Amino acid sequence: MIAAAVYFFGAVAALATLLMLFQREPVKAAMLMLTALLATAGIYLALSAQLLAALQIILYAGAIMTLFIVALTVLPQAWRDHPEKKPFLKVLGLAAAAIILTELVKVSAVLKTVLRSTDFSETGALALAQQLFGRFAFQFELLSLVILASIVAAVALAAKRRPA
């Protein structure tokens, strides 16, 4: 049952990504990306990572998607983004992806013997918080620096230059 759910959501995510490749309207492509991200939240739910599923919806499907929609709205050039029909290029890209996939699957063949236990133990918010504020506290605090740096960079890049 759990395996079926994981495969179903995985198939939805893969299909949405594939359709996104051939979608010419930017907003429809963004909606397909949203489908893929929500399907990923479904995979997390099936793997008993409830908190991650909620964070995936809030952060990816909420914040990052909103950012993309805003970018599509404020950038007039993005609306004119109708890629020319180059089916050859798409086939070439899919062939490259097939090569990447074959290599990755071949490398991970050692995992065939490792069984992921099907009785997924639920990881609650408490266990996650103990990791984030205990064992990984330093890394977690460093992340806040990363986000601060990205805010400063985004403001510095996007702000209008005032003549000195």
Partner 1 sequence: MSAYNLASLAFLLFALAAAGFLTCGSLVRMLMFLELMLNAANIALVALNPLPASQAYAVMIFAIAAAEAGVGLAILITLSANFKTLQAGNIKELKG
Q: Binding to partner 1 (CB under 8 A): which residues in 12-71?
A: 13-14, 17-18, 20-21, 26, 29-30, 33, 36-37, 40, 43-44, 47, 49, 51-52, 55-56, 59-60, 63-64, 67-68, 70-71
For residue 79, give every residue at least 6 positions away whose Cβ sits within 8 Å of its Cβ, in sequence order, or none: 26, 72
Least spacing, CB of residue 163 vs partner 1, in Å = 16
Spell out the long-range contacts of 127-133 with Cβ–Cβ below 8 A and sequence spacing 24 or more: 128/51
112 versus 162: smaller Cβ distance to partner 1: 112
Least spacing, CB of residue 164 vs partner 1, in Å = 18
Chain-centroid distance, C-alpha 64 = 9
156 versus 164: smaller Cβ distance to partner 1: 156
Distance CA 140, CA 163 (A): 39
Instruction: For the beta carbon of residue 20, count every other beta carbon within 10 angstroms.
Output: 16
Site residues for partner 1, 119-148, by CB under 8 A, read 120-121, 123, 127-128, 130-132, 135-136, 139-140, 143, 146-147
155 versus 164: smaller Cβ distance to partner 1: 155
**Contact pick of 25, 28, 73, 89 for partner 1 (by CB under 8 A):** 89
**Contact pick of 25, 28, 73, 105 for partner 1 (by CB under 8 A):** 105
CA angle 116–122–127, rounded 5-degree value: 115
128 versus 163: smaller Cβ distance to partner 1: 128
Distance CA 142, CA 144 (A): 5
158 versus 162: smaller Cβ distance to partner 1: 158
Are 69 and 32 contacting, i.e. CB atoms less than 8 angstroms apart? no
